[in-house]
């Protein structure tokens, strides 16, 4: 476990070498004593600043930029220059900076990754260097690694194949692991599996930094992933590995292949499911309609949509429904319409949620050969509408108004990222439901007006879940990440809802409270792991202590020079 409470740091670096290390650099905050010891006089302005003064200076500069992409580039540069300052800025201004560090701005950051590239961060593992993975991992700089986020760049948010530009996602996710969950940045490692790209804009761009090759698939792809996972287990046997933004044909398949070999999960499948389930549990408390009576329509029946349905179905079983009773309450709609039995091309993870032909007999349809979302809302009368389609505007006015007609308080979650891909805007949902909808969105939107006052829209974002899941799993040395641990995370999030006491309040805590949420989620996850026998030898009464011992607060500590 990395020591987050060390009273001082010992290093043999000095001069420019010390200033060039983002994990060690303090910039103008090096004391006079440290400047003497590390040969820094003359390399820095003479005034010694405090961390608070540096944060104020950087925040002022950040706010001077005109676009969020400029702010994103500025923060990435700061992260690569002085990590303590970067995280002090982020932790102190989470609500303002989260949309820049991650969604929605990270989407543009991925699209512009090759043009914004300045300094290496993390690891780019390409197929031509498959035989070198062990050697790459062996660098002493990575000795402290405990958490890895990996992508192959094929399904970045709702933007599709971004090739090497997908590296922006692991970098951003791990920034939230530290900013929200408190993991020390030295214990985190972003990785891109560069298997090529089918994005012609990348392949023809003379500035593209990735491997110029069409995307490798099939057995060669699987062999490369296997070589990567095997090398990870060999180098870091107790590591937490998070899969991120893999295409639907690989996301669930790889999760199932590796979930019992190491401590791993897929955030798009399981994290999205947990935050959606937690927010739904909070919403159910407001509507007064029991979970066992909810009917759920999901637009986007890929790995994320089916992951959401699976966890909500498990919650329904916990509430008393049988497996078949719970399953019948889901209506999964994909590009070819409602999933029904006998439909060709269904994947293994979609099959549990197909509707029986008999169940939809007698439905009035606009087009008998395809059952669209509006057909589902009009005939099934769902109480919950969730969107993970990546298709903007698909929660149309007729769809939303139909939801409002059959529900006093319709629950509507357009969760697709980035903002430009959201199925509907909160302003439109508010207007089309006459202010009665309970709304959750995947990316931040401006406040709406409700009851004559400004009302912040709940950001049903995975940042409420995955930092706490990772923190809890690592704190107790969990060998696996189970479905039960994600259910515990969802219920912990729901228990944090201000709407439990006042239905007029938000379903989720404010983004500014994400550190507190992560600690609460971590405790629930760690307790669940302990109950399932998945933890190292950690007494249950020491779990809270172990969690807080892992939470790093960005601050400068004194340095001592290592003598030869």
Q: Catalytic residues, which ones?
A: 102, 173
Q: What angle do CA 402, 408, 410 make, to 5 degrees?
A: 60
Q: How far apart are the first and last CA of the chain?
A: 27
492: which 2 tokens? Answer: 């912990």
Q: Does residue 532 contact residue 545 with C-beta atoms inside 8 Å?
A: no
Helix axes 543-550, 466-475, angle to 10 degrees: 120
Distance CA 549, CA 535 (A): 17
Distance CA 271, CA 304 (A): 9
Residue in the structure block whose two tokens are 């404010």: 510
Q: What is the DSSP letter of 159?
A: S
| Closest C-alpha to 246, from 218, 232, 229, 267 | 267
Within 13 Å, how many C-alpha atoms sit on residue 528's CB side?
A: 23
Q: Where are the alpha helices (DSSP H) in 294-436?
A: 303-318, 323-327, 373-380, 397-405, 426-432
In DSSP terms, 266 is beta-bridged to 243
- Three-state DSSP at 284 gives helix
Q: Does residue 423 contact residue 393 with C-beta atoms inside 8 Å?
A: yes
In this structure, how many other beta carbons lie within 10 angstroms of the beta carbon of residue 506?
18
- Three-state DSSP at 211 gives coil
**Dmax (CA) of the chain:** 84
Classify each residue of 213-228 as buried b or exposed e, where b means 16 or more C-beta atoms within 10 Å of its C-beta.
bebbeeeebeebbebb
Distance CA 425, CA 440 (A): 10
Q: What is the DSSP letter of 152?
A: -
Distance CA 270, CA 486 (A): 7
Distance CA 123, CA 120 (A): 8
For residue 347, what are the CA distances in angstroms to 163, 301, 306, 324, 350?
A: 25, 10, 11, 19, 5
| Closest C-alpha to 446, from 142, 99, 4, 173 | 99
| Closest C-alpha to 240, from 257, 259, 256 | 259
């Amino acid at each position: 476990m990395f020591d987050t409470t060390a009273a001082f740091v010992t290093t043999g670096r000095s001069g420019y070498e010390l200033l060039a290390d983002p994990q060690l650099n303090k910039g103008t905050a090096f004391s006079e004593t440290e400047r003497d010891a590390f040969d820094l006089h003359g390399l820095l302005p003479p005034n010694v600043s405090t961390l608070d003064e540096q944060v104020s200076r950087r925040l002022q500069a950040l706010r001077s930029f005109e676009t969020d992409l400029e702010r994103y580039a500025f923060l990435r540069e700061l992260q690569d220059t002085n990590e303590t300052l970067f995280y002090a800025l982020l932790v102190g201004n989470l609500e303002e900076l989260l949309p820049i560090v991650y969604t929605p701005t990270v989407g543009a950051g991925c699209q512009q990754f090759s043009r914004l590239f300045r300094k290496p961060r993390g690891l780019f593992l390409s197929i031509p260097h498959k035989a070198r993975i062990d050697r790459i991992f062996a660098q002493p700089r990575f000795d402290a690694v405990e958490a890895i986020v990996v992508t192959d760049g094929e399904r970045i948010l709702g933007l599709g194949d971004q090739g090497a530009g997908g590296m922006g996602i692991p970098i951003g996710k791990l920034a939230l692991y530290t900013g929200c969950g408190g993991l020390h940045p030295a214990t985190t490692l972003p990785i891109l599996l560069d298997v090529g790209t089918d994005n012609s804009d990348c392949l023809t761009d003379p500035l593209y930094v990735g491997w110029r090759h069409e995307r490798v698939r099939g057995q060669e792809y699987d062999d490369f992933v296997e070589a990567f996972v095997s090398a990870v287990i060999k180098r870091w046997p107790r590591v937490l590995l998070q899969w991120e933004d893999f295409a639907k044909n690989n996301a669930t398949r790889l999760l199932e292949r590796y979930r019992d070999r190491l401590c791993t999960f897929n955030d798009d499948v399981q994290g999205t499911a947990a935050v959606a389930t937690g927010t739904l549990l909070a919403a159910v408390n407001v509507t007064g309609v029991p979970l066992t009576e909810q009917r759920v329509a999901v637009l986007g029946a890929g790995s994320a949509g089916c992951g959401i349905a699976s966890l909500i179905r498990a919650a329904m079983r916990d509430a008393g429904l049988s497996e078949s009773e719970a399953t019948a309450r889901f209506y999964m709609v994909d590009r070819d319409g409602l999933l029904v039995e006998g439909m060709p091309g269904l994947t293994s993870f979609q099959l549990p949620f197909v509707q029986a032909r008999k169940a939809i007999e007698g439905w009035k349809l606009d087009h008998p050969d395809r059952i669209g979302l509006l057909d589902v809302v009009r005939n099934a009368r769902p109480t919950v509408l969730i969107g993970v389609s990546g298709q903007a505007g698909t929660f149309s006015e007729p769809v939303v108004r139909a939801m409002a007609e059959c529900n006093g308080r319709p629950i509507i979650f357009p969760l697709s990222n980035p903002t430009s891909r959201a199925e509907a805007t909160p302003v439109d949902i508010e207007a089309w439901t006459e202010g009665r909808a309970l709304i959750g969105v995947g990316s931040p939107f401006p406040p709406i007006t409700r009851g004559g006052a400004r009302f912040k829209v709940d950001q049903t974002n995975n940042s409420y879940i995955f930092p706490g899941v990772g923190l809890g799993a690592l704190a107790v040395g969990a060998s696996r990440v189970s479905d039960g641990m994600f259910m515990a995370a969802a219920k912990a999030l729901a228990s944090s809802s201000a709407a439990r006491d006042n239905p007029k309040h938000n379903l989720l805590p404010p983004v500014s409270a994400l550190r507190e949420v992560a600690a609460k989620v971590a405790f629930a996850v760690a307790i669940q792991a302990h109950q399932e026998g998945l933890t190292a030898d950690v007494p249950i009464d020491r779990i809270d202590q172990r969690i807080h011992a892992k939470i790093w607060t960005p601050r400068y500590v004194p340095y001592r020079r290592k003598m030869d």
